[in-house]
A and B are shown apart, each in its own frame.
Chain A
Amino acid sequence: EADIYQTPRYLVIGTGKKITLECSQTMGHDKMYWYQQDPGMELHLIHYSYGVNSTEKGDLSSESTVSRIRTEHFPLTLESARPSHTSQYLCASSEGQGAATNEKLFFGSGTQLSVL
C-alpha cells in the first residue's frame, strides 16, 4: 500500500472560489505529479516536480498552480474554480531523481471535485 494521501476526498464548491487540493507522501520520493482524470478516460498531466523548489507545467497547467516547499507536500491550487474544472484529481510520486525512465508511480486515492 502506497503512503500517499490526498485531501479532501470529495469537494463541492461554487464557481469563482479559490481551492487548494492537498497531497502528501511519506516515502521520501523526489518526484511528484498531479493528474486530472475524467471517468473512464486517460490521465492528463497538470503539473510535476523533480524535487524541492522544482515545479514544471504539464498539459493542463494554465489554470492552476503548485508549490513544492517540502519534499513530502505538493499542493495544487485553483485560483478561481469553474464548472469545467469538475473532475477527479490524482496525485502521484515516484522514487527516481531527475533523468530516470524506469520509475513506478504511486498514486493517491484522488480528490473528486465538483464545481457548481
Chain B
Amino acid sequence: GESVGLHLPTLSVQEGDNSIINCAYSNSASDYFIWYKQESGKGPQFIIDIRSNMDKRQGQRVTVLLNKTVKHLSLQIAATQPGDSAVYFCAENTAGGSYIPTFGRGTSLIVHP
C-alpha cells in the first residue's frame, strides 16, 4: 500500500551546523505535507507545511523542500541548537481519500553542544 517513510532513523549534528532531515513518500496524489517535531514526553507539534503546488517554503530557521518528481521531502534546520533535539515526523495528506494524514517513521535528531 501507499506509505510515507524516512530515510534515516537517527541524525547527529554539532550545535551550529545545518541539519537536513529527509522523507520519501509513495503516493503521487499527495497534495499536502507537514513536518512535526516531537520532544521527549510530549506529543508532536507542527513545524511547517507545504502544498504540492509549491517546491519550497521557509519559516523561522526552517525550510521545507518538495521534489514531486522523485516524491521527496526535506526539512532543513539552520544553525541547529540543542533545543532542536527531538524526533521529526513528516506527514502527508491526499485529496479524495479519507483526508486523514499518514505519518512516516520519524528521524531522531541529536544535537551535540
Kindly specify which of B12-20, B64-72, B77-85, B103-111 makes contact with the partner chain.
Answer: B103-111
Partner of A108 from the list B32, B43, B93, B108 (CB cut-off 8 Å) is B43
Closest to A94 in B: B101
Report the separation of the CA atoms of residues A40 and B9 in the bound assembly, to the nearest whole angstrom: 8
The SS class assigned to the A binding surface is loop
Q: Digit string of B43-75 for contact with A (CB within 8 Å is 1, else 0)?
A: 111100101000000000000000000000000
Report the separation of the CA atoms of residues A56 and B100 in the bound assembly, to the nearest whole angstrom: 11
B100 near A45: Cβ-Cβ < 8 Å: yes
Partner of B43 from the list A96, A98, A99, A110 (CB cut-off 8 Å) is A110
Residues of chain B with a CB closer than 8 A to A99's CB: 95, 99
Name 17 extra pairs, CB < 8 A, besides A56-B98, A101-B32: A35-B103, A41-B106, A42-B104, A42-B106, A45-B100, A48-B98, A92-B43, A101-B93, A102-B32, A102-B49, A102-B51, A103-B99, A103-B101, A105-B34, A106-B46, A107-B44, A110-B41
A101 near B44: Cβ-Cβ < 8 Å: no
Query: 7 tightest CB-CB pairs across the interface, nearest first?
Result: A107-B43, A101-B93, A101-B32, A43-B103, A42-B105, A104-B46, A102-B32
Residues of chain A with a CB closer than 8 A to B9's CB: 40
The count of residues in chain B whose C-beta lies closer than 8 Å to any C-beta of chain A is 28
Do A96 and B89 contact each other (CB < 8 Å), given the known contacts A41-B106, A109-B41, A109-B42?
A: no
B46 near A105: Cβ-Cβ < 8 Å: yes
The count of residues in chain A whose C-beta lies closer than 8 Å to any C-beta of chain B is 27
Residues of chain A with a CB closer than 8 A to B76's CB: none
**Smallest Cβ distance from A83 to chain B, in angstroms?**
22
